[in-house]
Amino acid sequence: MWTKAASPDAMPDLPDPDTVPCSPFDETGGLAYFPRMLAKIRLHAAGRLWADLHANLGKGMDLWCCGYLQVTYDEVKEQVLKGATDDEVLRWCEQRGQPLNDITRHVWRQFLHKVGMNDAASGRLAKWKAESGLADRDDIVTMGHYMDVAEGRKP
């Protein structure tokens, strides 16, 4: 998915920081990943989203997040493109779909902090690490860790 490194031991070419969204671990209203999804929508609409992220717009974690909230990605995208803030979009999601509470936020956060760790996403994570020259990085054990390294937020 991300740019291949020049050699197996090299770090991938890092994208321009202005073209990548925030970390998947960032939160809005206690909901992890949500601000990343909205930032990707905004960056894409402005023609500034890192090209490597285009293929997964509305898929993968975006789709899981919307499914968890019981709204569609297109509905969320529409709210974002109308100019709503992250907090406003989250409130809209809770009114339209599933209201959140401390327990549901905790469940989502725990899920998100483990995606790629001995689950259905593990194979994809291993593939992305190998393609990026990061296969030897035992500290990258989840998709979130991978995103933070590949996008230049973590060494």
Greater confidence (12 vs 142) lies with 142
Are residue 71 and residue 131 in the same domain, yes or no? no
Are residue 74 and residue 124 in the same domain, yes or no? no
Q: Does any domain span residue 65?
A: yes
Q: Does any domain span residue 11?
A: no
Are residue 86 and residue 150 in the same domain, yes or no? no
Check residue 13 and give its pLDDT.
77
d(CA 123, CA 92): 35
Average pLDDT for 24-28: 98
Q: What are phi and psi of 135, to 5 degrees?
A: -60, -30
Are residue 91 and residue 122 in the same domain, yes or no? no
Average pLDDT for 74-100: 97
Check residue 6 and give its pLDDT.
38
Q: Does any domain span residue 108?
A: no
Which domain range does residue 45 map to?
19-100
Check residue 1 and give its pLDDT.
52
Average pLDDT for 24-48: 98
H, E, C per residue of the chain: CCCCCCCCCCCCCCCCHHHCCCCCCCEECCEECHHHHHHHHHHHHCCCCCHHHHHHCCCHHHHHHHHHHCCCHHHHHHHHHCCCCHHHHHHHHHHHCCCCCHHHHHHHHHHHCCCCCCCCCHHHHHHHHHHCCCCCCCCCCCHHHHHHHHCCCCC
Are residue 25 and residue 87 in the same domain, yes or no? yes
Are residue 84 and residue 29 in the same domain, yes or no? yes
The number of domains in the chain is: 2
pLDDT in tens, 8-21: 444 557 899 999 99
Average pLDDT value over all residues in the chain: 92
Are residue 44 and residue 74 in the same domain, yes or no? yes
Query: What letter represents residue 29's amino acid?
Result: G
Are residue 31 and residue 76 in the same domain, yes or no? yes
Are residue 139 and residue 87 in the same domain, yes or no? no
Are residue 90 and residue 133 in the same domain, yes or no? no
Average pLDDT for 131-145: 95
- C-beta separation of 50 from 19 below 8 A: yes
pLDDT at position 7 over 80: no
pLDDT in tens, 114-123: 999 999 999 9
The answer, as to whether pTM is greater than 0.75, is yes
Percent of the chain, pLDDT > 90?
A: 90
Q: Does any domain span residue 5?
A: no
Q: Does any domain span residue 9?
A: no
Check residue 12 and give its pLDDT.
53
